[in-house]
Structure 1
């Protein structure tokens, strides 16, 4: 039975969709390109910033992907936690996991520096053992490389871990790593969680899974 919990960040622990959409829409609008409703972005996030930018650009702007990606990263980094906040019940869950001394970590496809800033700003009192994001030369989720590195750094075997996330990317990651994939119904793509071993309707639903 798993005894540790590795969490995705965006759409799982925090609702960051408004800040992501605002930053990218600012860049698109400033370049005279079409912007998108905030809700639209939930279908495009999760694979990493480069993939997000490619997905929302019109065909005629795709040759400028790298330039616009740099602009998005700069804008988003400057407004990383303007509206971003933990989902209701997340702090209480993390506090209870800490009380029970359950090993916990964060692994995201967001750039690692940004992951650390979000965690340090919103979860300063949470004893995550490992906090990781996207790094140069390491494949993004759903490739299991990064999540297996996190488990190893915690001294855990994959089968001892839940991987908790809000999209099909996270569920695929958990399966690929040999972990138990758990979906959250409050995140960005709850309709894509069909292959999850468990789906949480509220953060506290995780606790019974730990025995």
Structure 2
């Protein structure tokens, strides 16, 4: 994927995923799942939300948060991510980030890399992707139709969230 393949024709707003799209991520999901007792083939956030014991759930959330904060300190711009943001800036389009990350880790990644996007929704703001709620919240805030927005991500959840929201999508 090259930045030239990012077609902004007819697009009025661009929403980016964060990890693996704008910044590198070294999150070890195998280790994270092992730390919280989540089967390797299950979504970790869904698994933790379904835990019935409040103490176990709190401990799992703390373990995930620690992994995310450790990762956030080292996350650097991806060249393709920076190039895409610059292209969207050149077109004077609004930008947002929608991520499954927590707010604290997201803020560190955005600040450390000087990412010029102020509108950021994390898993504390809306249900995690592939649920389309966060994407639809952004379109609504921008007063745009979903089909006029482009969602850029790197994972099947990103494609599913965009499709669920009725948005155009691009996998990087």
Cα distance in 2 for partners of 1:161, 1:84 equals 26
Q: Once superposed, what is the RMSD of the aligned Cα atoms?
A: 3.1
- Determine if contact 1:6/1:162 at 8 Å carries over to the other structure: yes
What CA distance in whole angstroms lies between the structure 2 residues aligned with 1:113 and 1:154?
Answer: 24
Alpha-carbon distance, 1:134 to partner: 0.8
- Name which structure has the greater RCO, CA cutoff 8 Å, separation 6+: 2
| 1:70 equivalent in structure 2 | 62
> Residue 150 in 1 paired to residue 150 in 2?
no
Q: Note if 1:181 corresponds to 2:169.
A: yes
Counterpart position of 1:202: none
Looking at CA atoms only, which structure, 1 or 2, has the larger radius of gyration?
1
Aligned pair partner of 2:107 in 113, 116, 123: 116
Which of residues 130, 135, 149 is equivalent to 2:124?
Answer: 135
User: How many residues are aligned here?
Assistant: 155
2:5 alignment partner in structure 1: none
- State the partner residue of 2:28: 21
3-state SS in 1 of match to 2:101: strand
1:11 pairs, out of 2, 11, 20, with: 20
Q: Secondary structure at the residue paired with 1:95? A: helix
Spell out, residue by residue over 1:120-178, the C-alpha distance to the aligned partner (whole angstroms, 9 max, x if none).
22134x2x251111116x32111111110011112221011011111111111111111
Which consecutive residues of structure 1, in runs of 5 or more, have no partner in the other structure?
34-40, 55-62, 185-211
Question: In the alignment, does 2:160 pair up with 1:172?
Answer: yes
Q: Deviations over 1:85-138 (max 9, x none)?
A: 1212322331232122122111011112322221122134x2x251111116x3
